[in-house]
Structure 1
Amino acid sequence: MRVQAQPEQEQIAPALSDDAIAAEFVSVHGQNWKHVAAWGAWYRWSGTVWERDETGLVREMVRQVCRSAAQQADKPAEARHIASDRKMSAVLRVAAADPGIAVAPSRWDAHPMLLNTPSGMVDLATGEIGPHDPDLLISQMTTASSGGDCPRWSTFLHEITDGYADLQAYLARLAGYCLTGSTREQAFAFLHGHGANGKSVFLQTLASIMGNYASTATLDTFMASKSERHLTELAGLRAARLVLVPETEAGRSWAEARIKAVTGGERLRANFMRRDHFEFEPQFKLIVAGNNRPALNGVGEAMRRRLHLVPFTVTIPPERRDPRLVEKLLAERDGILGWMLAGCADWQREGLSPPSCIRAAAEEYFEEEDLIGQWIQERCICDGKHKAPAAQLFQSWKAWVEDGGYPSGSQKALGEALRARGFEPTMVRRQRGWAGIGISRSSASTEVGE
């Protein structure tokens, strides 16, 4: 029995092949479309920014090209095939790989000192504004253009800082730093204070003005957890310059390794759901806000250098709280962006330069979190004469932390902490031990009694 060939199996005229129709799409529409294979995403140039195609508009463009090509077919069956969904999918695949369409992830949003605004591209290094340029491949844009005054914003800042000018100047530098894609400060900010103090309004206003340069992460993304976090959590933060964690919870601990990675300029590996992995250098500045201070697993130099603990100590009385305050502040969004740009210029000259109130709050926090330091102060003697077996030190440490309801960890972890503090390993009566530290007589007798 003779089998009739299907239209897709028949010889198609070269001008109507997948490749030819894809080339026609690129010729007609290619200047306005890009594709990123690793993300499975199409982007369309809007005239001011590259916008991700969330509605399948690119498929409609291909449908129009295919319908036009179908009119050139000699046979009805061939015309139906060219206008079919299968044909459109094939044309899309070919077009997506075209050199003028395909873009590697690393080429997107790769200009850390340019800021895209509705009125043009701001060079943050010079303050000059230039035209929008599709060749820059920028997919982010603020919701404001610099200009005008912001008297209500100035009053708000004065109120939430209790008139502390140095803290207001720091907040301006921090906000300006967040406009950039730089992470050279290798720092993150924790805005701490108990309710009705303005920190949420401050962050909501900045995030709204920054548009999709700002993003929000879940608390779990940057808090310690027993299970490994999924890489898709980081993929969505690829081009963000400000990432907010809006609230903390009691009893949680910082995910210190991840925080060090995202603030230290390391390349991160991530992927979108069911997509290939890709690497990117984070541009975002992490700001966490909360009433509860997360715990630290250890008070090391890395966290001391990174954490800016910003105290919000003012409580706005109930009669002066305005539920529409964010809305009213955003009426000055252009002026507030100007304030942020001025802060960016100050940051480039001075760095973040946290004032004394931030340094003091951080030092108090680290002292409270430094359990090993407290144990050494209460139970140990530190000088060049003393040395003690590692097992004896761990027994003392274990008794001390368990009395306070804290986990003791392992003897190895204690040894690493002692080494980090400058103590040297040695032998004590043929046992491994540590030089420069010993157990005080009073604490030793107390522990024996226990």
Structure 2
Amino acid sequence: MVSLVKDYTNTVHSVLPGAKIIPCRGYINNKEYSKAKAPLGAYKDKPSLTSVEIDRHLEKGGWIGAVIAQNHIVIDIDNSIAASYLNRLLKGERVKFHLIKTPNGMQFIFKAETPENQKIKMISKWFTSIGIVIDTRVGTTNSLIVFPTENTKNRFISKIEDELDELPDYLRPIWNTATTKQYEFPIPLINGSRNQSIFDLGSNSKRYGMAPDKLIDQSLHLVYKYFMDDKEDFSVQELRKTIASINEFNLVNSVRTTYENIEHHQKTYSLTDLGNAKRLIDQYGDKIKYSHKQESWLLWDGSRWAYDFQERVLLFAQTISNEIRKDAMNIDDEKKQKAMFKFANDTENLARLKAMVNTARFQSEIVVDMDQLDKDPYLFNLSNGTFNLRTGRLQEHKKTDLISKKSNVNFDPSTKCEVWDKFLNKIMGEDRSMIDYLKRIIGYSLTGDTSEQKFFFLYGGGRNGKSTFLEVINHIIGEYADTTPMNTFIQQKQEGISNDIAGLKGSRFVTAQETEKGRQFAESKIKQLTGGGKIKARFLHKEFFEYNPQFKIVIAGNHKPIVKETKEAIWNRIRLIPFAIRIEDHERDPHLKEKLISEASGILNWIIEGCADWLENGLQCPTSVTSATENYREDMDVVKKFLDDCITFNPLAKEAFKNIHATYNAWAQENGEYEMSSKALGGNLKERGFKAKTIVGQRHYEGLTVRNDVYQSLMNSQHNNRTLVKQKTNYQLST
């Protein structure tokens, strides 16, 4: 590091010969970094500060700026990692430049005497052919830089050469990042995507920057040499093949944004909330989105589009005032410049920040529809990438995938899960078919596919491992998993799909626990939620919206909820999975859950294997689950029990339906079963093939009759006597 000296005039001129020195605000009556960089008033027609004036200004806490001298250019990089890699490249190529370290990155100073370099204007956030994103400060537009002094923390001169080299071709700006908002070039290159990253950079340089093949070839060789830390399995020959494929790239739809027409691309903004909103989008449009249906901002956090519940979008908005000040520095008209600085200050008021953000919501570039989010059912987002469940490969996080959820587990194909395997063997009684079935169910649940149309019920008494099983799976599936109250799936007086279901959009694995005795499943809702079609829901006090559920429903309980419907439409969906093993006190491990979660990456591999098995072979329900579900169905067939207990079948018999109905309800009271309306009971009998016939104005059923002994028994029952007597009118047994 070069030490700072008190003679700032000579120091400035050693870096930028002949540069004008001007006063910047610094921390004079100011505590904000963005305002500190602004010049104190217009400076175009004013002389350079003297050494005495500089000292006095610094003593007050001010900063100084250096107006870029003619035939010089400053390349400003706000990314410290990218800047350090460029520094390494330039040193390796023996390029002579001055270097200033800044709080966010570095500034590289070169000569700019050639006609090509003289054409470069002051711009912000443009790509170079080596993938570095730069800002420029040039000597042809009175642009300036803050010059390091003892007042500028973390800003210092790092290197001064005796003479400077011309700005290299590969550091010229060639296309605006606003042209390719979703594109980012990784520095350093990431294993697994090195070839694709090099191809994308070269083809974008050719398409958007109109870079000649020779420059692309030179630049990509430099990228390979200095930006690729790990060259294992990536030879120079492979690089040359990639460059050859870029040279064949079709330029029919190229977008030309070079310096011959840069003036037409340099944006101006009105000093209004709309102008600020457009600045916000141009600056951060690749990192912010807004959903009107959910009335929420989403911010790109590097791995997914996260919902902005804390209004962090305002932090982006707070930087716009500094962009306005940068533009103001290039205005020659002092009156207009003052107006622009005032507007920059006003922009920092909370009311103006919120107005900027609220106005930006209606700009089409950042609006995202709910249906666009998490749309691909076979992408599962993880901490270290996005796993493609169809290909079985880990991909880079991509903004264009529009994923809003993530599991915080890393994919590591080498990890195992020995404790998990022992746990499953224990709770499933070493039944391999049951373990494999659970594996396929959870693998299927990683996807947003609901084509199986199933509803899984983990059934068994307490202390059998089902809660631990679900808690561990929920942890691994992460934000794709959700829990909901059991009442979501239990019949209510006023049934509807509303707030609880609205919150499950995008979820893939939904659990509910603790069934209560005597409660009934909300059968029509379950059929709708597992049917594969759109459902309508809304959040409290919000408008209704529709979405396609991606979630699989898994409930766990000690009691079997009532299922009144006997049709296949519901029973084809339900799968009862018995948890019959009880974990005794001496077998319990109080730290088991923590041990299992420590194997999260290994369990993820187990789940991914289950997904692959399901994709190839389907769920393959084992015999024990089929039998348990059939037994559940028989237990729920109350009408069959009634017919067995109370009815004699005789093809010549006819029974008045009101007698059948009265007997059923009396029998139901006696046996603790649910009563049925005449419509429900009649429909059930019809489904079973019994035919109704009207005789003397009354409906009768053919082929059955109420047993006399049952009738007499129910008549003698004190509990049911009132019901039968009340309905005994015209009660006639047919023979």
Q: What is the TM-score with the length of structure 1 in the denominator?
A: 0.91
Which segment is superposed worse, 410-419 or 238-247? Answer: 410-419
Contact 2:517 2:560 in 1 (8 A): yes
Which of residues 270, 275, 288 in structure 1 aligns to 2:542?
Answer: 275
Deviates more, 1:173-182 or 1:65-74: 65-74
Q: State the 1:149 CA deviation.
A: 1.1
How far is the alpha carbon of 1:196 from its aligned partner?
1.4
Please, which runs of 5 or more residues in structure 2 have no aligned partner?
Answer: 1-267, 329-336, 722-735
Taking the TM superposition and a 5 Å limit, the aligned residue runs for 1:13-32 are 15-32=270-287
- In the alignment, the residues of structure 2 paired with residue 275 and residue 357 of structure 1 have an alpha-carbon distance, to the nearest angstrom, of 45
State which of 386, 408, 433 in structure 1 corresponds to 2:700.
433
Aligned partners of 2:649 and 2:300: how far apart in 1? 65
> Which residue in the other structure is 1:376 paired with?
643
Question: Which residue of structure 2 aligns with residue 100 of structure 1?
Answer: 365
| Secondary structure at 1:39 match in 2 | coil
Q: Deviations over 1:171-222 (max 9, x none)?
A: 1011111111111111111111111111111111111000100000011111
Query: Match of 1:15, SS?
Result: coil
Is 1:312 equivalent to 2:567 in the alignment? no
C-alpha RMSD of matched pairs (Å): 2.2
- C-alpha distance in structure 2 between counterparts of 1:156 and 1:320, whole Å: 11
CA distance in 1, matches of 2:365, 2:649: 67
Task: Quote how far apart the aligned CAs of 1:229 are.
Answer: 5.5
Larger radius of gyration: 2
Q: Secondary structure at the match of 1:438?
A: strand
Letter matched to residue 131 of structure 1: E
Indicate the residue corresponding to 1:192 in structure 2: 459
Distance across 2 between alignment mates of 1:14 and 1:112: 41
Change (3 A) 1:413 1:255: same
Contact 2:321 2:345 (8 Å CA) reproduced: no
Aligned mate of 1:259, from 526, 544, 564: 526
- Partner-residue secondary structure (3-state), 2:684: helix
Assess, with a 3 A threshold, how the Cα gap between structure 1 residues 230 and 365 changes in structure 2: closer, same or farther: closer
Task: Point out the more displaced range, 127-136 or 435-444.
Answer: 435-444
1:328-378 deviation digits (Å, cap 9, x = unpaired): 011111111111111111112222222111122222222222111100111
Aligned partner of 1:423 among 680, 687, 690:
690
Q: Does 1:120 align with 2:385?
A: yes
Q: Quote how far apart the aligned CAs of 1:282 are.
A: 0.6
- Segments of 5+ residues of structure 1 without an aligned counterpart are 1-12
CA deviation after TM superposition for structure 1 residue 442, in Å: 4.0
| Contact 2:464 2:583 (8 Å CA) reproduced | yes
- Would the alpha carbon gap of residues 169 and 19 (structure 1) be closer, same or farther in structure 2, given more than 3 Å must change? same
In the other structure, the counterpart of 1:5 is: none
C-alpha distance in 2 between matches for 1:283 and 1:134: 21
Structure in which a larger fraction of residues adopt helix: 1
Q: How many residues align?
A: 438
Write the mapping of 1:4-83 to structure 2, written as runs, cut at 5 A.
Answer: 15-66=270-321, 68-69=323-324, 72=328, 74-75=338-339, 78=343, 81-83=346-348
Pairwise CA distance, 1:423: 2.6
What secondary structure is seen at the aligned counterpart in 2 of 1:434? Answer: strand
SS of the aligned residue for 1:143 comes to coil
Match of 2:353 in 1: 88
| CA contact 1:150–1:332 (8 Å) conserved in 2 | yes
Instruction: Tell me how far 1:400 sits from its aligned partner.
Output: 1.2
Distance (Å, rounded) in 2 between the aligned partners of 1:125 and 1:300: 35
Q: 2:450 aligns with which of 183, 187, 198?
A: 183
Q: Match of 1:265, SS?
A: coil
Q: 1:139 aligned to 2:404?
A: yes
1:401: Cα distance to partner?
0.8
Measured in 2, the distance between the counterparts of 1:419 and 1:298 equals 13
Q: Distance in 2 between matches of 1:282 and 1:246?
A: 20
Structure 2 match to 1:335: 602
- Name the CA distance, whole Å, in 2 between partners of 1:412 and 1:79: 73
Q: State percent identity of aligned pairs.
A: 32
State the SS of the aligned residue for 2:317.
helix
Contact 2:379–2:388, Cα closer than 8 Å, also in 1: yes
> Higher mean Cα deviation, 378-387 or 117-126?
378-387
